Structure 1
Amino acid sequence: MEFGFGPEDEAFRGEARAWLAARLAGDPVAGRDWERELGNAGWIGLGWDEAGYGNRTAPLTQQVVWAEEYARAKAPTRSGHIGENLLAPTLIAHGTADQKTRFLPPVARGEELWCQGYSEPGAGSDLAGVRTTAVRDTGSYRVTGQKIWTSLAREADWCFVLVRTQPESTRHHGLSFLLVPMDQPGRIEVRPIRQLTGTSEFNEVFFDGALARAEHVVGGEGNGWRVAMSLLGYERGVSTLAQQIGFAAELRRVVETAVATGAAADPVVRDRLVRQWAELRTMRWNALRTLGSSGGAGDAGDTGDAGAPSVAKLLWGGWHRRLGELAVQVRGAGAAVGPAAWSAAAPYELDAFQHLFLFSRADTIYGGSDEIQRTIIAERVLGLPREPKG
């Protein structure tokens, strides 16, 4: 399938660009207020394959256009992207009619925020090692366990949690995909995780008998692994193209700094800069090729290409980490020095390049480590012998 933009897509681009420019010229908003504005204007849920949930119809090309224009406009960081881009397509594919009716409209209106309960201290990239349990109690489940690296856990109203509902089960058997309300004082505790950057985007979440309704199991009890893997395909869909717009802006600043500091005169540095540019272009065409062949679902299962999400993760994770290293290299010795405003009260006032370097160290780990991605490609695509499980 050829992936290209036609006249209708360019007209849509003009509409999106004009709305973003007009809105961002006014008073700044963020968080829930911004999500509601996006929802009221019909910008959430583009292309959902279900009618009546408050979203406008848009083909794949226009979904890409919106993601790119949003990134170019440097619009506020989304608080609702987990609900819109991960939960919603998963519900559309695997949810019941009642689940769709209950949860999709609030996401489309920007009224309910979500977080993802996948990783655990002993089950990060190896997601099949999940130990958090959900025990059936008449019309509910009681959830007990710990999740980690949970983005937006402090703000979220709901969490979709991968839990073990069959006590004697192992690995990917006996897992369920459960929707859990976060407002349960005494049963759910959220603890921020302080990172190398000094910020706390991630959290630990502790469940101590937290309640979830039985009808909020997505895909049926025991089918959690299939649902969870489907969701990971959506995670690496259209949104990756918007991510690349941000990458391009970071690369441009690194190039400008290399010229300003004289680092670009070094042929080795020039070679690295050109490689970064060429690899970024390769990532874009790979993403467009994958989306074009999937018809926009973002799920590699639609194309038979089980390795597509893993290839995408390997490409951008390593690329971004190398960009962080290059950013501090072109800055020179000054990259190791903090600003004069540092103090004991605020010791982590990092500049953009320092933050890029430190945060990108984790890019090849979170979202599935490089080792796990290579194993998936080896086993599911190349047909190599499976790695022994201890």
Structure 2
Amino acid sequence: MRKSWFARFQFRQFSVAAARFTNPNLELPLNGIRIVDLTRVLAGPYATQMLADLGAEVIKVEHVTRGDDTRSWGPPFAKNLKNPDTPGESAYFLSVNRNKQSLALNFQDPRGQKILHKLINESDIVIENYLPGTLSKYNLGYEQLQNEKIIYASITGYGQTGPYKDRAGYDIMVEAEMGLMHITGEKNRPPVKVGVAVTDLTTGLYAANSIMAALLGRTKTGKGQHIDVALSDCQVATLSNIASSCLISGQPDSGRHGTEHPSICPYQGFQTADGTIIIGGANDKLFGILCRLLNREDWLADPRFGSNPLRVKHRSHLVPMIEEELREKSTAEWLTIFEGSGIAYAAVNDIQTTLHHPHILAREMVTEVEHPECGPMKLVAPPVKFSIAKPSIRLPPPMLGQHTDDILHTLGLGDDQIRTLRDEGVVG
């Protein structure tokens, strides 16, 4: 006798609950979402890595022989334990490709296109970062897919429209073109780029956020959409209060300030006896605390320093006076003095110190995974903590084509077909 609808519903609910009890990955917010990742280098892979951390199944489609460009971006490379004469994976690639599967595929070949079309039809999201119109040559553009449920995100330097749309846009070019470099660096010194490719990273964040919003929208309408994400747009958006100041005042920006804040003083880096410390006296109360900690309460009676606007006006007098006091002790000594005072402060640490920082370790921001060729390796962990879901590194960054056979099997291809496609350079 067939079970009633209610009985089938109860059984299904019980099965899901049991699976969740045994598999905590099912609690991840994006569990059950499949993403076809056609991106390379940084902005796109960073976006798909965030979505993978949250539970999405991400299939990274790579060039059949060389893979993602960043596989060769080194040194440093992780050591290949199985073949010491061959470089292992590059640190750059490892930084943004955890929790993904790798499909090595030549989609210039019509057979590769057919495979990719089938994969996309069984997926929820496509993310790509080719120049506008490039994928249309292979029948893989948004309009050509004719799939109203697909969420299709295109990440480019300058977007799908506008006079620069066909221009290649890497992070450093967009930092320069869209204002960030002009306000980064020391006063009266040439402009510099930010120490990491921050425009790529913020674009990846915007892309991931927009994709999740589109997923929510699809639950209401049943329809996906094309998302146009440009590094140039995201860079302008993250100029934030500086852009707002220029728009409201109609005046040029105030240029480069190093660690100084153009509207707050003291709020910058100061030299100590052996290093640099950042201090933020962002209001009158905090400035008073700093004066007492430096045993310079006489500054509180100085009419030049009676308010933040006055301190900004007389910055050239105040900053050297503060630094003169700070040079009397080491950074470690000042950190001890400032601890618990209520003032904002921080040492300027290098990256190795940061990665071994007691707070970072307590927050479990460094984790170890087992790589099939390179053995145990340490990676930066997913940053956001959830009360129920536990984002983690479920899969180490994949080797090129590591999952090709498994993925093709799920699409219905047999071993002989896969062998032929590999022999003919369609898959790797």
Same fold (TM over 0.5): no
The alignment's TM-score, normalised by the length of structure 1, stands at 0.24
Scaled by the length of structure 2, the TM-score of the pair is: 0.22
Higher-Rg structure is 2
The structure, 1 or 2, with the larger RCO (C-alpha pairs under 8 Å, 6+ apart) is 2
Identify, as 1 or 2, the structure richer in helix.
Answer: 1
